[in-house]
Structure 1
């Protein structure tokens, strides 16, 4: 099946029905393996057992930005290529991305309390991630506030592309400003600075959470397509009912006039 064939919602629904059981099974296995590796990882000589919060915090932080990147590509599909599923992909991804961002903020606060002595600090990294979370909430509110799906799609696409400016700010904030947050230790020039005892569980959890996102996203896109079909049928029924009422009113008027 060619990629362009997935522009047909019916074909996408067929593919989703086939993939979702397999995606769910692989996600469960990967997350179980990642959790096992995380639980059996050694304590850090400085941070102790609290270092294991990293195995939840870092994948969620990565995915919070990755999901917005996916939404930005989908927004280009909405505005430039008019792809029929682009808006569906972006709308379905927003609540998932908001959840990842929220988890990143919560686990970051829990990790920061024993390390920094505070749950929150208005430094560049934490503030920019909080702004990302608020932008997710704004997008979700926008889609719910505008009844016309086409208008909502265009407005949300513009807002998403504008909000993408925040992604490099989050990524490079620890390099551009003096922050409490540690600099990049995995994705950096010269290789990772993490010991393999921590790097392997971290990557396992990142892969597991990535498959979790794919599974949830495909399921959410399927639900959004079905929701729009139900809405379309309801509108057709409402128009048909309105036409019947209008026709009945006109016939009654003609009878009264003839009498």
Structure 2
């Protein structure tokens, strides 16, 4: 006997699940978030420029102000996608599929930037551009492959519901890589240094480096949310336009055009296919 899937609570959360409501809320959130991210990036870059060089690494340590926020965002983005995947499989949340699909390219970009800046930073620090035996480097590369696989699955099926379910399953399976990335330097030998901020012994970074790093991390996080909201709005508009075009074609030639799954009256959301 199978258990019924849990339903969404009958509250503002149910209202937010509607794409139309999301478009209204996101339109109000985007301007302040954009301003905050722009001001934060400007302040963070200034503080990073003014930060003193490291006594061992010199000025190359300033690559950290880009590398570390990108690495954090690559994991945060995937964690958000895992939550969206749960929303797809458990509740068939109308916006979950859109959130997962649009977040994957953004997360892949942050992961690629983290790998690229880490490689540039590693050349003078470690004496090599790339080390396959490094546990954190390899697990981050796996994360990039997961992002690419999710992007491919999201676009591999004509049926939007099938694509969403396939991408959700892969996302949840791949989530095991996130704790591996986090604890890889503690579980295995690694060229990367252990955690310097979230650790038992307290913060191990000087304030002159810590403050610019936190400002940049906060600014990158705001930038991620701005990009995510813009991408979701664009996807909703794209799907809505496509559904409208197919509906008009169906009404014009009902005998020649099969009704698309995105507007079928089968209990699915008309804009997301879920």
Q: What corresponds to 1:242 in structure 2?
A: 253
Q: Would the alpha carbon gap of residues 154 and 48 (structure 1) be closer, same or farther in structure 2, given more than 3 Å must change?
A: same
Please list the CA deviations of residues 16-57 of structure 1 after superposition, one character each: whole Å capped at 9, or x if unmatched.
111111111111001111111100000000000000000000
Per-residue deviation at 1:245?
A: 5.7
SS in 2 for 1:145: coil
Structure 1: stretches of 5+ with no match in the other structure: 247-259
Q: What corresponds to 1:12 in structure 2?
A: 22
The normalised TM-score by structure 2 is 0.87
Structure 2: stretches of 5+ with no match in the other structure: 1-10, 258-274
Q: What corresponds to 2:202 in structure 1?
A: 191
Q: What corresponds to 2:79 in structure 1?
A: 69
CA distance, structure 1, for counterparts of residue 15 and residue 198 of structure 2: 35
Would you say 1:162 and 2:168 are equivalent positions? no
Q: CA RMSD, aligned part only?
A: 1.3
SS in 1 for 2:161: helix
Q: What corresponds to 1:179 in structure 2?
A: 190
Please list the CA deviations of residues 72-98 of structure 1 after superposition, one character each: whole Å capped at 9, or x if unmatched.
000000000111111111111111100
Q: What corresponds to 1:128 in structure 2?
A: 139
If you compute each CA radius of gyration, which structure gives the higher value, 1 or 2? 1
Q: Of 205, 211, 221, which aligns to 2:222?
A: 211
CA distance, structure 2, for counterparts of residue 107 and residue 210 of structure 1: 18
The normalised TM-score by structure 1 is 0.92
Q: What corresponds to 2:244 in structure 1?
A: 233
Q: Name whichever structure is richer in helix by fraction.
A: 1
Q: What corresponds to 2:37 in structure 1?
A: 27
Q: How many residues align?
A: 246
CA distance, structure 1, for counterparts of residue 147 and residue 243 of structure 2: 27
Per-residue deviation at 1:244?
A: 6.0
68-77 or 233-242: bigger deviation: 233-242
SS in 2 for 1:243: coil
